[in-house]
Every structure is written in C-alpha cells, then in structure tokens.
Structure 1
Amino acid sequence: MNAIVWIAAVSLAAWLWLLLAQGLFWRTDVRLPPRADPGDWPSVCVVVPARDESTVLPYSLPSLLVQDYPGRAEVFLIDDGSSDGTGDLARDLAERHGGLPLTVASPGEPPAGWTGKLWAVRHGISLAQARAPEYLLLTDADIVHAPDSLRELVAAAHTGGFDLVSQMARLRVESVWERLVVPAFVYFFAQLYPFRWIAVRGSRTAAAAGGCVLLRTEAAERARIPDAIRQAVIDDVALARAVKRSGGHIWLGLADRVDSVRPYPRLHDLWRMVSRSAYAQLRHNPLLLAGTVLGLILVYVVPSAALVAGLVTGNVAAVVIGGLAKLVMTATYVPMLRYYRQPTWLAVLLPVTASLYLLMTVDSAVQHYRGRGAAWKGRTYARPDAAFDEQ
C-alpha cells in the first residue's frame, strides 16, 4: 500500500470515529426538550445588547415586544455606543408596537478588560436586578423570536431543571456564499460541541448560542456572569462553561422558530465573522493551530484527493478507501443541509467549504500576531479571548 492509501485509511478511520463516537453530532433532532407549563410563571427580563443595529431592529425588537408570555416580562435594550440611531429607533418601535415594557439605556464605552457586548450585557443585567427576575433572556439584536419563544424556553427550563437553555438560531441562507458557508458553520460547531453531551451533568462539554440564552438569575450570580467572562470574544461558549463549572445544568439545541436576520451576502462578511474569533477558539496556541490545519486537511481534503488520485492512477485501494471516507463525510452533512432547507447536493462541496474555514482560521492567527486581534463594529481587541485563562 502506498502513502496515499495509508493517509486515506487514517482519514476513513477518523470519519468512522466521528460518525459513531462524537455524540451523534451530525443529527439535527436535538430540539427543545419535553416541557410543561410551570403554572405560576416566573418573571423574566430580556437583555438585548445593540450596537449599530438599525437595519435589523425593525424585525427583531417587535418580535420580543409581542411575546405571548403569561408571566411578568420586560425588555432592556442596551445601546452600545451606536452611531445610527439604534436607541431612538427602539423607542419608536416600542411606541408603535406596544407590548412588553421597554427600557433603552446606554452603558458608555467599555473600560479596559471588557468587550463591548459583555459590558452592555452587564449594564442590562444590573438594570434588570431591580425587578428581581427569576430568569434572564440574553438575545442578540438580529434575532427574531416566534411569539411563543419565551414561553417555550421558560417551560423547558422549568420542566428539565435547567439553569441555562440556549437555542442555536437558524441563520440566514439566501446568498450564494451564505448557502455554501453558513450550514457548515453550525455543522462544525456541533462537531466541536456535540449537543447531546452538553446536557449531560458532569460532562466537560459546554457551549451555548449567544443569540438566544435563557439563564436562571441565581445561576448567573453563582457563575459571576458576565464579570467572570468579561474579556471573552467567544462569549457564548465562555458563559456556558462558567455556568456548568459552577454546578449549573445546561442545554443547547437547534431552533425551529428563532431566526437570525443578519445578512452575510459576501464572502468578505462571512470571512470576518469567522476569522475574528477562530484563533481565540484555539486559545492563541500555535501548536493547536498547526494541529487544526493538519486535521482539517486530513479529514476534509484527503478523501477527495485520494479518490481523484486513485481514479487517475488506477489505484483501486485509494478509490475504495477515499470514496468511503467521502461518502461518510457527505452523509453526515446532509441532515444539516436539510435543516437549512438547502439542496443536498451541496454536501459534495463540504471539502471546499472546509478549505475556506482553514484559510479563515489561519488569517485569524495572522491578524492576532499583527496586533489587530478581533475587530467588530469599530472596536478592536488586541487579545481576543482571555476566557480560557480565567476559567
């Protein structure tokens, strides 16, 4: 057996392990767990950090204001230094739509050691504490909620005894680049953080989706949220880790009726979204970066390369082994494409998408060592994520 066959065999072994031993990450049936009405519905404060969100706020904020929630609830929109009239627009939307009470406030510029979003979240939680809510809903300004979203989240948390319930909002997939990149983003996330493992008490796997996080106030105080994760760029994962390590029971799954309306029409937009935090995910470790690059090549590029090389040279073993690895890879991606209502033939392009993510990750490291760190909406963080050091 020549080198390409051996490498292809390692790739196939990796895919068989991912298929069978990585928490069934490829399945998309992890949705809100069974739930029952609490009877006496607890109070909830919704905290929405917003910076220059005037284009998406007309879709997202009304969906929160008109929540059909039987208990006491109100919304706090924290205008994080917007220059596009986000705060004024929020007040105008509240006057037009009515519904839940809305408070619009601004925390000022974040002090050193805080990301802008978490400084805004801290301000929102501080305002909410005056209402003594039992739960906090942390949701982004681009997230549209179905009218019963809050009711369903609270019922799930109450029934399952969860301190944190998070839903991975369905991201927008309209442009060509969104169709190619976005479903893979969630697929890779689930591969890193298998949803089934997250809900297991005592497991080390912890993650949340920052667009929709229902958090028990007591658990937030116990985990010192958000102060304990104040420097985290990947704040949702850091939040979930802090809650779980403080003894909290957490859950994460895919959403049916919680959607992001933020557009990423160009490759540049998606590239920036991924690269701003990819190297932080690797703890700014060059060895982890090298291992990730080699791993992506081995797992996603080698099967197609072995298949083509085998066809060209007539190497039957390379064709069979490379073809089997590619078949497993393609089959595991199909459920995510179906969840996103995309044609299943896009699964054959997963190696191309994985190669793009490889380049985005390398670019993230390059930007870090150039001192540019994570840049988002006019702010740059020289060291994108210290959460791993603090946890």
Structure 2
Amino acid sequence: MFAAVVTAVLSLLAWVWLTLCQGGFWRTDVRLPPRDGPAGGLREWPSVTVVVPARNEAGVLPVSLPSLLAQAYPGRVRVVLVDDNSDDGTAELARSLAGRHGGVPLEVVAPGEPEPGWTGKLWAVRHGVALARSEFVLLTDADIAHEPDSLAELVSAAVRADLDLVSLMARLRVVTAWERLVVPAFVYFFGQLYPFRWVNRPGSRTAACAGGCVLVRRAALERADAPASIRHAVIDDVALARAVKRSGGRIWLGLADRVHSVRPYPGLDELWRMVARSAYAQLRYRLSLLAATVLGLVLVYLTPPLATVAGALSGDRVLFGVGAATWLLMSATYLPMLRYYGRTPWYAPLLPFTAGLYLVMTVDSAVRHHRGRGAAWKGRTYSAPSGTT
C-alpha cells in the first residue's frame, strides 16, 4: 500500500497547490463592476456594432435575437447577423423577428462558404467586422440572450477601465440532469485552465475570453490582425484573447450575471459533442499532451475517491485519511461554482465522476481526430492546422 499512499499524498499536495497558487480559480466573484447610475459614468457613449455569426440557429433565435434588438444602449448601435450558409431559414427568421420586435436596427448578410483555411465562425466574424464602422464590436453567439442593459454595462466597464477587450462567460443552461452535472464543471475546469485573475492581469501571459460575449475595440482587432491571424482556430475565443493581448491590448474576463446561453443540451450526447469537438485542439493535437492530461486528471481528480475507498476497504487509516481530506478539499473548491449555478452542494462530491467523463471525452476527441473526423460541428469538420501534429 506504500505506493498508493504516496500517490494519494501527491494528489493532496497538488490540490493544496491548486487551491492556493492557481489564481484563485475556484472563486466566482470576478464580475463586471456595477454601473454608476443610468449613464454608467460616461458623458459620451461610443458607437457599437453587434456581430452575430449564425449557422442553422432558427431554434434559438426567437429568444436570443429579440434581446439584442431590445438593448437600452444610450449610444449608436446596430446588429449585423452573418448567416453562415444556414439551411433552416435562419436569415429569413432574423428579418421576421426584426420586423416584429423593432428596436435596434438589424442587417442580415450572407458571405458564402468560407475560404480554405478559415473556420466557418471566423469567416462569418470577418465579414461582420468588415461592416463595422464603430469604435467597439460586440461578438456574441446566436444562442446568447442579453438583459436590456447588458451592452451598456460592457461598454461602461471597457471605457472606464480603458480595456481593449471585455468578455463575459455567459451563464449556461442547467435544466436537465446532465446539464446540472456537467455544465458547472465545464466552467470550473475552464477557470482552472485560465484563472480569470491571471487573464485580467496586464503583465500575465495567461489570455482567454468566452466567445459567446466579447466586446472588443475595433482598433484592437486591427492591431492584432484579427480575425485573419486566427482564421484556422477551433478554440477561437482563446485565440482571439491571445492575439489582442500579444499586440499590447488590455483584456478582462469574468462571469456573467445578465448574459445567458439559451442553447439546450438535454442529453449526454449533445454535451459530449460540445466538449469532444475542441478538447484535442486545446492540447494542440499532441499525443504527448494528451497522455500528460490523462495522467494529470487521474492523479488530481480520480485518486482521492479511489484512495478513500481503498483505505476504507483495507483498513489503512493513512490512505483513507489522505484520500478523504483531498476529496473534501476538492469538493470545497467546487462549492462556489455550484452556488453560482444555484445547484445543491451535494453535487460537489460528484466532481471526480464528472472529471472522469471529461477525461473520456478528451480521449474520444483525439480518437476522432486521428480517424479523420477532426473537430466536427454543424456539418463541418476541421483538421489540425499544418505543423501542429
């Protein structure tokens, strides 16, 4: 049992380090500062173009698009929906919703199939940004709904703090049993990879944003040559944040209070595809990083419950105590995220099970890539860029 005890101790040390030294990733208090009154402290409000890339989004547009058209923004704003070769009537539905709801002006454009080397979303973003003549561009996905003052809060924060990019991790849907189990952990793991406090520190190399809601200065996009410089990126939000930060821009990422995803993930299959389509890309398509990730997940997330059970069955008090203490510490770091999503604390001890699911999803992502299926999403498959494998 000596090897088991040593492994359990290593897992405990890993969790102590993560809790104390990984940018406070487990905290959920990185939020937009409240606006100072209705005007948000601004004398003049800069112009904004809202760019919405949309491919076969007729199912969610009736909820999300009216929320953009109803923005109570004091400055000049318009919405550009870029129809990415939809075959479900997305463009027609968007025009119909604009005619029915009125509000912020809407323009619908269709750039055609992406050129070689471009992902569909970034091809759509490119055309939307090209139409912008505003100081700011809000990049928001077609499944994201905004409260009426969402845009004003984003712009106020960007102007007052002199930020080039402000991004909110939209509050994802947690209605079904699988959503309640998997979704809070998804945001928790994201924060562990990209601690928000490190992202928001100007001198830090850590960069990330949440692609569903990104307000960025058009001048910052031009300095970063974006989206052209990241045109092949499957994880486009992280790539965009890195490009802006590398070019000298100041970025900020936090959790949303008034921005929500309305896309349903009713079963495990839908959640599995969401994770598996980009997990191997996150590892830069390298088997060495995949192996290290699998070993790391086993040590950090699976060892504590295994050590606890093994110690209880064998009567080894040391193994049981170390495993239980580590499991308890891990669960404690998950509680703030569960509270943010309004979930019961009893989900916290299930985090190792959810991490095990993510481990298998990551391996499946690599298997799909090496079988030639790559990152598949909405009828398109993207292979790794040359030189990454």
TM-score, normalised relative to structure 2 = 0.97
The residue aligned with 2:121 is: 117
Q: What SS class does the counterpart of residue 53 from structure 1 fall into?
A: coil
Q: State the AA in 1 paired with 2:32.
A: L
In the TM superposition, residue 319 of structure 1 has moved relative to its aligned partner by 1.1
The residue aligned with 2:164 is: 163
Work out whether 1:74 is the aligned partner of 2:78.
yes
The residue aligned with 2:227 is: 226
In the TM superposition, residue 39 of structure 1 has moved relative to its aligned partner by 1.0
In the TM superposition, residue 233 of structure 1 has moved relative to its aligned partner by 0.5
The residue aligned with 1:271 is: 272
Q: State the AA in 1 paired with 2:191.
A: A
CA contact (8 A) 1:34 1:159 kept: no
Number of aligned residue pairs: 384
In the TM superposition, residue 358 of structure 1 has moved relative to its aligned partner by 0.2
Q: What SS class does the counterpart of residue 278 from structure 1 fall into?
A: helix
Q: State the AA in 2 paired with 1:20.
A: L
Moved >4 Å (runs of 4+): none
In the TM superposition, residue 34 of structure 1 has moved relative to its aligned partner by 5.6
Instruction: Find the aligned partners of 1:328 and 1:162 in 2 and give their Cα distance.
Output: 35
The residue aligned with 1:282 is: 283
1:76-129, CA deviations, whole angstroms, 9 ceiling, x for partnerless residues? 00000000000000000000100011000001000110000000000111112x
Give identity over the alignment, percent: 68
Work out whether 1:58 is the aligned partner of 2:26.
no
Instruction: Find the aligned partners of 1:52 and 1:122 in 2 and give their Cα distance.
Output: 18
Instruction: Find the aligned partners of 1:148 and 1:68 in 2 and give their Cα distance.
Output: 6
Q: What SS class does the counterpart of residue 368 from structure 1 fall into?
A: helix
Q: State the AA in 2 paired with 1:226.
A: P
Instruction: Find the aligned partners of 1:99 and 1:174 in 2 and give their Cα distance.
Output: 30
Q: State the AA in 2 paired with 1:348.
A: P
Q: What SS class does the counterpart of residue 117 from structure 2 fall into?
A: coil
The residue aligned with 1:6 is: 6
The residue aligned with 1:33 is: 33
The residue aligned with 1:145 is: 146
Q: State the AA in 1 paired with 2:77.
A: A
1:206-251, CA deviations, whole angstroms, 9 ceiling, x for partnerless residues? 0000000000010010001100000001000000000000000000
Q: State the AA in 2 paired with 1:55.
A: G
In the TM superposition, residue 183 of structure 1 has moved relative to its aligned partner by 0.4
Instruction: Find the aligned partners of 1:285 and 1:123 in 2 and give their Cα distance.
Output: 32
The residue aligned with 1:100 is: 104
Q: What SS class does the counterpart of residue 257 from structure 1 fall into?
A: strand
TM-score, normalised relative to structure 1 = 0.97
1:126-155, CA deviations, whole angstroms, 9 ceiling, x for partnerless residues? 112xxx200000000000000000000000
Q: What SS class does the counterpart of residue 256 from structure 1 fall into?
A: strand
1:1-391 correspondence to structure 2 within 5 Å: 2-33=2-33, 35=35, 36-128=40-132, 132-383=133-384
Q: What SS class does the counterpart of residue 131 from structure 2 fall into?
A: helix
In the TM superposition, residue 366 of structure 1 has moved relative to its aligned partner by 0.5
Q: State the AA in 2 paired with 1:66.
A: A
Instruction: Find the aligned partners of 1:191 and 1:166 in 2 and give their Cα distance.
Output: 17
Instruction: Find the aligned partners of 2:43 and 2:237 in 1 and give their Cα distance.
Output: 30
In the TM superposition, residue 282 of structure 1 has moved relative to its aligned partner by 0.4
Q: Give the unaligned 5+ runs of structure 2.
A: none
1:51-97, CA deviations, whole angstroms, 9 ceiling, x for partnerless residues? 00001000000000010000000000000000000000000000010
CA contact (8 A) 1:118 1:230 kept: yes
RMSD of aligned alpha carbons? 1.1
Instruction: Find the aligned partners of 1:299 and 1:240 in 2 and give their Cα distance.
Output: 28
In the TM superposition, residue 9 of structure 1 has moved relative to its aligned partner by 0.1
Q: What SS class does the counterpart of residue 49 from structure 1 fall into?
A: strand
1:267-324, CA deviations, whole angstroms, 9 ceiling, x for partnerless residues? 0100000000000000111111000000000000000000111111110100111111
Q: State the AA in 2 paired with 1:43.
A: S
In the TM superposition, residue 175 of structure 1 has moved relative to its aligned partner by 0.7
In the TM superposition, residue 202 of structure 1 has moved relative to its aligned partner by 1.7
Q: Give the unaligned 5+ runs of structure 1.
A: none
Instruction: Find the aligned partners of 2:379 and 2:320 in 1 and give their Cα distance.
Output: 49
Instruction: Find the aligned partners of 1:355 and 1:28 in 2 and give their Cα distance.
Output: 23
Q: State the AA in 2 paired with 1:93.
A: L
CA contact (8 A) 1:33 1:160 kept: no
Q: State the AA in 2 paired with 1:136.
A: V
In the TM superposition, residue 254 of structure 1 has moved relative to its aligned partner by 0.2
Instruction: Find the aligned partners of 1:376 and 1:205 in 2 and give their Cα distance.
Output: 27
Instruction: Find the aligned partners of 1:65 and 1:162 in 2 and give their Cα distance.
Output: 25
In the TM superposition, residue 33 of structure 1 has moved relative to its aligned partner by 3.4
Instruction: Find the aligned partners of 1:141 and 1:150 in 2 and give their Cα distance.
Output: 15
Q: 1:204 to 1:34 in 2, by over 3 A?
A: farther
